[in-house]
Amino acid sequence: MFYNALKFAHLLAIILWVGGMIFAHCFLRPAAAALEPPQRLRLMRDVLGRFLNAVLWAVVVALGSGAWMIGRSARQAAESGGNFHMPPSWMAMALLGLMMTAIFGYIRYALYPRLARAVQAGEWPVAGAAMVAVKNWVTINLALGLLTVAVVMLG
């Protein structure tokens, strides 16, 4: 029962993370493009601030639950006298997840503060450049997230 609850939490964390990137990249950003730069950049700063805080929790849940589930499988193999060989799809999921986490960290702790400071100071060209960098890294992370889902679903 606990394993299923943890797997459910893991899946919900991934849905929040990848789904949020899809929403922001494919729907919010294009709709916000109709706004003037000060309004657009304030909106994106505010939405991204909330989203990145939620994703921080999703990353903690995804990494923690994923590590626990892998550890549980390894422990069960050891207790039964066998060897644990992580399936290739699990290995890919773990590696892609760690890459996504590193990119998220860069966005959350380097690019987003640059965007927030520039918006606060009314430095619209600097804020715009920071937003372009955020968009580019989110695009990469979204591609990695979709690749991860494909690897897991298709084996």
Please give the pLDDT value at position 82.
86
Q: In angstroms, rounded to a whole number, what is the distance separating the alpha carbons of residues 49 and 55?
A: 10
User: Residue 85: what pLDDT?
Assistant: 87
> What pTM value is reported for the model?
0.93
CB atoms within 10 A of CB 97: 19
- 27: Cα within 13 Å, side-chain hemisphere: 7
Dihedral sign, Cα of residue 28, residue 63, residue 104, residue 112: positive
Residue 154: both structure tokens together: 């298709």
Q: What does the pLDDT read at residue 128?
A: 97
pLDDT at 68: 95
> What tokens appear for 120 in the block?
């606060």
What pLDDT, on the 0 to 100 scale, is given for residue 93? 94
Q: Determine contact, residues 35/73, Cβ cutoff 8 Å.
A: no
Nearest partner of 113 among 32, 153, 53, 71, judged by Cα: 53
Listed residue (78, 69, 72) closest to 97, CA to CA: 69
155 residues of the chain, pLDDT tens digit each: 899 999 999 999 999 999 999 999 999 999 999 999 999 999 999 999 999 999 999 999 999 999 999 999 889 888 898 888 889 999 999 999 999 999 999 999 999 999 999 999 999 999 999 999 999 999 999 999 999 999 999 97
Query: What's the number of CA atoms in the CB half-sphere (13 Å) around residue 24?
Result: 27
